[in-house]
Amino acid sequence: MASEVHGPYAGLVAAHGLSASHRIVLEEIPDGARVLDVGCATGYLAAELTRRGCTVDGIEFDPDAAQQARAHCRAVVAGDLEAAATHAEVERMLAGVQPDVIVCADVLEHLRDPWAVLAWLRTLLAPGGRALISVPNIAHWTARRALVRGRFDYADFGLFDRTHLRFFTRTSARELATGAGFAIDRERFSDAPLPLESRLPALNHVRAACVRRAPALFALQVVLVLKT
């Protein structure tokens, strides 16, 4: 069974709003697009997209979250993303109408075989369609600092999320995409505040410069825009 656990993240979105990587993903989706939201959780991305005239279908492991997501989606399949039965149900849901955009936002790291899942998703896309994937960067400086200190403390969310089965860097995220048959159209990054930034707002500009110069070290999330 896949381990797509979205409960803590839905709670974070409810409490604090969409994350920086969520906003990047939304920016890359044109108004009015037909979207397949993979791991749609409670439908927080779908809600934003439907307000922009998009038609959204979803896939979600948690049946309770899937039920909530149906308020914002045309249809949602509740099931294990790595199961053949779920694949068949998704293909029936789409009924031959191919999505323009497939979104995998903070999903692939929860799977046993994200390479196979992404390759299958590629077969669903409309000609000229795009896929958007976001994965956490385990090489972020905070994770490196923890490892230098001899720590790898699992948590309910974040880089050391206890439900992560796979860990990606900027390089291995790109390899995941190309291994599934995609070409990388562009690459974007989300970041996280630096120490003392709340007291020294000028560090915000330093952080942005760090991400531009050394994304492998300072990007918290890697967001890839993929084409077939």
Task: Tell me the Ramachandran region of residue 140: left when phi exceeds 0, alpha when psi lies from -120 to 50, beta otherwise.
Answer: beta
- d(CA 162, CA 156) in angstroms, rounded, equals 6
Running DSSP on this structure, what letter comes out for residue 193? Answer: P
Three-state DSSP at 185 gives strand
Residue 217 · residue 16 · CB < 8 Å = no
In 18-95, DSSP assigns E strands to: 34-38, 55-60, 75-78
Look up the pTM and report it.
Answer: 0.89
Side-by-side strand order, sheet with 55-60:
75-78, 55-60, 34-38, 101-105, 130-136, 221-227, 183-190
Residues of the chain with pLDDT under 70: 1-16, 196-203
Tokens of 140: 């972020």
Tokens of 206: 């330093």
Running DSSP on this structure, what letter comes out for residue 186? Answer: E
pLDDT in tens, 41-56: 999 999 999 999 999 9
DSSP codes, 106-134: S-GGGSS-HHHHHHHHHTTSPTT-EEEEE
- The pLDDT, as a whole number, for residue 197 is 58
- Superfamily grouping for domain 7-198+217-227: Vaccinia Virus protein VP39 (3.40.50.150)
Per the DSSP assignment, residues forming a β-bridge with 132 are 103, 225
HSE of 41, CA atoms in CB hemisphere, 13 A = 21
pLDDT in tens, 80-92: 999 999 999 999 9
Residue 68 · residue 40 · CB < 8 Å = no
- The pLDDT, as a whole number, for residue 199 is 66
- The pLDDT, as a whole number, for residue 1 is 37
